[in-house]
Amino acid sequence: MIGPIFYVLLIFALVAAPAFGGWKLSRKHGQLIRMAGTVMTGQVVLTPVVAYITFSESTIVADNPVKTALTYAAMGVVISIMTFVVLEIRNTTKSRKSTASVTGTDTRNDPAIVLIVIIFLIAGLTIAIVEIAKRLKPDVNVAWLPFWASLPIPGLLVVYWLFNLWWLQSDHCLDGQVCCREGIVYMSVGAAVGMFGSFFVGMTTSILWINWRKKK
């Protein structure tokens, strides 16, 4: 169990550290530029290292080096976007606290804590799906089980995105600052971050859980 956890934490560190630097450098610009800077700088360490290892003639780590490199690059993009979301939430929380200190408003709801609770709920739901699937069908294909167990939350987020897309373009949406093209873009970015982030959390949790259960 310790080995996979350390491996996942190492990947997170190799992506999150440069992504944090990219966000710092672009924090004075608009949100889309900050997100692009965070995602691009998040790739500067992990992707070249994985590409060098997979395409090196002295090391044979995968049957398909291109597929392996693209998989890790996609993983880096997801972690970079998750890092961007956490940093934006933290920055917004600091702004609210500074505003509250001036106006005297009490702001006790910390979005970062809510995000952590959501991650634990996704992990718990994924573990429950894995255990239910193994009990209902003992000969289930373990190789594909993490993928299928990680789909329910992203699927719900797709439904959420479609509903909001309809709502923002309907006559029911009356706020001019929200019911516009910019509002649709921000909503779509948030839904995409939630979809890929929840899928990554589910995949990581299910793989670690299945490997841990094998050793018991």
Model pLDDT for residues 102-116, shown as the tens digit of each residue: 555 444 555 556 667
Average pLDDT over residues 170-193: 77
User: Is pLDDT above 50 for 88?
Assistant: yes
Could you count the other beta carbons within 10 Å of the beta carbon of residue 183? 16
Structure tokens at 83: 């890092």
Q: Is 162 exposed, middle or buried (0-12, 13-18, 19+ CB in 10 A)?
A: exposed
User: Is pLDDT above 60 for 2?
Assistant: no
pLDDT digits (tens, 9 = 90+) for 31-78: 788 888 888 998 898 888 888 887 775 555 556 777 777 878 877 887
Task: Give residue 1's pLDDT.
Answer: 45
User: Is pLDDT above 60 for 157?
Assistant: yes
User: Is pLDDT above 60 for 170?
Assistant: yes
**So where are the chain's domains?**
1-107, 109-216
Average pLDDT over residues 68-97: 76
What is the rounded distance in angstroms from the CA atom of residue 157 to the CA atom of residue 136? 26
User: Is pLDDT above 70 for 90?
Assistant: yes
Structure tokens at 63: 């049957």
**Tokens 């003639």 label which residue?**
57
Q: Is the pTM of this model over 0.75?
A: no
Task: Give residue 107's pLDDT.
Answer: 47
What is the rounded distance in angstroms from the CA atom of residue 122 to the CA atom of residue 130? 12
What's the number of CA atoms in the CB half-sphere (13 Å) around residue 100?
11
What is the rounded distance in angstroms from the CA atom of residue 56 to the CA atom of residue 199? 30
